[in-house]
Amino acid sequence: MIYIIIAICAGALVTISRLINSNLADEIGIFQGTFYNYLVGLSVSLVVLLFSNDSILKAASSFSKVPLWAFTGGLVGVIVVALSSYITPKISAFYLTILTFIGQLFTGIIMDYYTLNILSIGKLIGGLFVLVGLIINVLIDKKDLTKNQAAVSAETY
């Protein structure tokens, strides 16, 4: 039960942090906001590491076992935070959440395939269903928007 609560909190925090980052980017700029996002994240991570059972020396000694390509996750994270800060005010939270989910799902499928030689057909089909559902929803929203714009135009004349 505790893991379900943690997962729900993590999902909520992703949405909240996206909104905070977007507002910060509006105030001080996208890349400056991204910098402060990572600075706060590093600070909190160091505090958690200090109070955890693992020592800093033990954690640092395990870095040599990590493949070099794994450290590109930080660069990808910077790109994701910057793009998210830019895109958040432009589209609805629903679309952004679904797009993030689809991106994470397909990236996970690709990583599983290249690192573990596993291709999950169920995840692939499920991701395609979500993607098709998103496309259908966008088309319906676009049709409704066009209808509403035509109604407003007719009322003004």
Q: Which residue in the block uniquely carries the two structure tokens 């409704």?
A: 144
Confidence of residue 151 (pLDDT cuts 50, 70, 90): low
Residue 123 has pLDDT above 60, yes or no: yes
Per DSSP, the residues of 81-103 read HHHHHHHTTTS-HHHHHHHHHHH
Alpha-carbon span 140 to 107, nearest angstrom: 27
The dihedral sign for the CA sequence 126, 127, 132, 133: positive
pLDDT of 45 reads: 84
> Contact at 8 Å (CB) between 102 and 134?
yes
Alpha-carbon span 65 to 49, nearest angstrom: 19
The dihedral sign for the CA sequence 111, 115, 117, 118: negative
pTM: 0.66
Domain extents for the chain? Answer: 1-90, 91-157
